[in-house]
Amino acid sequence: MAQVKRIRRNVSGIILLDKPLGFTSNAALQKVRWLLNAEKAGHTGSLDPLATGVLPLCFGEATKFSQYLLDSDKGYETLAQLGKTTTTADAEGEVLRERPVTVGRADIEAVLPNFRGQISQIPPMYSALKRDGQPLYKLARAGEVVEREPRSVTIARLELLAFEGDTARFAVDCSKGTYIRTLVEDIGEQLGCGAYVAQLRRTQAGPFSLAQTVTLEELEAVHAEGGNEAVDRFLMPSDSGLLDWPLLQFSEHSSFYWLNGQPVRAPDAPKFGMVRVQDHNGRFIGIGEVSEDGRIAPRRLIRSE
């Protein structure tokens, strides 16, 4: 008997998942996509299986705006294990070296200013960055080490929350592209004892915080009782990640032309930058950019949601 193709639903919005331990970001996405039976889905930046916390999942029309969440600042809490370094710079790797931990809280506090502000990081070999089409982690697993270009990142906040014995807990607010594993490893080297990430929890992703997230268990329980459509209540609007952008509301006339790719004028538009756009009914219809002549050029459109 031929297998019946599953007809997926056209649903749009963002679900803020508290990613569970041990899941890749894609595995978590596919699980929630199955619970929704959603046609189109994407996540907004990978978290390692070791990491938990805020993972915005985009569905349907919301996937058009996932890049802006990818580019957003992030917040983390991490537990650093002092005295050891590993192949992956976290608890999943093999121990490379052990050194005695002779530092105290004051020693840790003394090196933290070196890592605040704009700093340079060399991405770890165990990362998803690609070299000649191959992810670095695949090369690392094959025993290869290749040269990586340093990258500039910004650490807006780096605070020691707790220190006990050979572990230290930090809060980190940082720009996109920051590797917390590399940050912890570099701090460990400056302390002279080495360190790796024992735990990592993302507390913030752009405008979203842990307080807004839902767990996989909660989603599964709702699905078990009410099916796919019951999970819809966790969907946030597609522009939820852009609420700090200027908002313009077009007339019915302007909305028609704008949705057909034509730049239009808006009397209350800012002088430059990106804007969110609603139609005359208050429905989100996409994002635009203010051009030099003051018109709003459409960049990503939503025709129906």
* pLDDT tens, position by position, 273-290: 999 999 999 999 999 999
Catalytic-labelled residue, pool 18, 48, 90, 279: 48
Verify whether residue 244 is a known catalytic residue.
Answer: no
Distance (Å, whole) CA 264 – CA 22: 48
pLDDT at residue 128 in the model:
63
Residue located via tokens 């046609």: 39
pLDDT at residue 126 in the model:
62
CB 58 within 8 A of CB 43: yes
Residues facing residue 41 across a β-bridge: 59
pLDDT at residue 69 in the model:
85
pLDDT in tens, 71-85: 899 999 999 999 999
Helix (H) / strand (E) containing 68? helix 66-70
Task: Read off the tokens for 250.
Answer: 């077009």
Give the domains, in start order, of the chain with CATH numbers.
Answer: 13-71+208-234 (3.30.2350.10), 74-205 (3.30.2350.10), 247-301 (2.30.130.10)
Distance (Å, whole) CA 86 – CA 280: 57
Which of 117, 135, 119, 118 lies closest to 127 in space, CA to CA? 135
CB 58 within 8 A of CB 14: yes
Residues of the chain short of pLDDT 70, as ranges, are 1-5, 125-147, 303-305
pLDDT at residue 130 in the model:
62
pLDDT at residue 122 in the model:
83
pLDDT at residue 293 in the model:
86
